[in-house]
Amino acid sequence: MKPLGPLRLGVNIDHVATVRNARGGDTPDPLRAARIAQEAGCDGITAHLREDRRHISDADIEGLMEVLNVPLNFEMAATEEMQKIALRHRPHAVCLVPEKREERTTEGGLEVAREENRLAHFIAPLRDAGCRVSIFIAADKRQIEAAHRIGAQVIELHSGAYCDAHHEGRIEDRDRELEALREMSGFAHGLGLEVHVGHGLTYETVQPVAAFPEVMELNIGHFLIGEAIFRGLQPAIAEMRRLMDDARG
Ligand code: PXP
């Protein structure tokens, strides 16, 4: 199968804000990072407004809505507070993610199947406001079917388990996780969902995922912001773009 279309790169700028917040001042500025990412050829900016505001702030979201020329993918928990914020800004996309205060990062996908009714009601006004609704889930048929039933237009498959297994040298686990991502990308596309993948992707892990023909977008943050320390943000993103395009053929 040929790729369904060009593969988009969404750059997650959360961890520029993490570094800023470590000192409580204004630098480094996530908006400046977003501008550079745009210049480097990203197709979208992703930012997660966590309930505890540990990195991205409300003012960052406001600023991003003002300055961006590319779409904003607004990641948030499925809470009333976040729904209000999303409805006020009406970003291009809203990606629902699970959130636990004690976690260091988004550890797993959203349990859609267990909360179908609530989530169906939760996303309806977001869709009505013109946001594309995406759900961050594990590569699991039950979750994908539930995401489809509640009316999500997009799913983002969690690639953390695949990336962790790769970087820890657990080859069999890595291959099994990659196969699940491949198979579930095809399954979700068959249901009419647009498929994105994200979490933990690096130069070493991006290419097998980028080669899946049904995958339309990758969202990458932590590795790129870390790599930017050594090569600069623009070259770090440009190299990721090159690897993705190369894998896409
Ligand atoms: N996609 C989603 C839904 C996320 O929540 C995150 C960040 O946790 C990412 C992509 C980016 O992950 P990373 O920063 O590990 O590249």
Q: Is the peptide bond before 91 cis (omega within 30 degrees of 0)?
A: no
pLDDT of residue 108: 82
Instruction: Mark whether 227 is an active-site residue.
Output: no
Token pair recorded at residue 11: 């750059």
The answer for residues whose C-beta is within 8 angstroms of residue 47's C-beta and 6 or more apart is 12, 13, 14, 30, 56, 60, 61, 64, 72, 73, 74, 75
Ligand 1 pocket member 205 (CB < 6 A): no
pLDDT tens for 60-81 read: 999 999 999 999 999 999 999 9
pLDDT digits (tens, 9 = 90+) for 180-195: 999 999 999 999 999 9
The model's pTM is: 0.96
- Distance (Å) from CA 192 to ligand 1 centroid: 23
User: One of 196, 199, 214, 217 is an active-site residue; which one?
Assistant: 199
Torsion 106-108-109-113 (CA) sign: negative
Residue 107 token pair: 């550890």
CB-ligand 1 contact for 50 (6 Å cutoff): no
- For residue 105, pLDDT over 90 is answered with no
How many residues belong to the chain?
A: 249
152 lines ligand 1 (CB under 6 A): no
CA–CA distance, 233 with 228 (Å, rounded to integer): 4
CA distance 43 to 89: 19
Structural domains of the chain sorted by starting position, each given as residue range(s) with its CATH number in brackets: 8-248 (3.20.20.70)
Catalytic option among 15, 55, 75, 214: 75
- Residues 6+ positions from 67 with CB-CB distance below 8 Å: 31, 34, 35
Between helices 171-190 and 141-149, what is the axis angle to 10°? 30
Tell me how far the alpha carbon of residue 159 lies from the centroid of ligand 1, in angstroms.
9
183 in catalytic set: no
Task: Tell me the per-residue pLDDT of 165-177, one tens digit each, with 9 for 90 and over.
Answer: 999 999 999 999 9
Ligand 1 pocket, residue 13 CB under 6 Å:
no
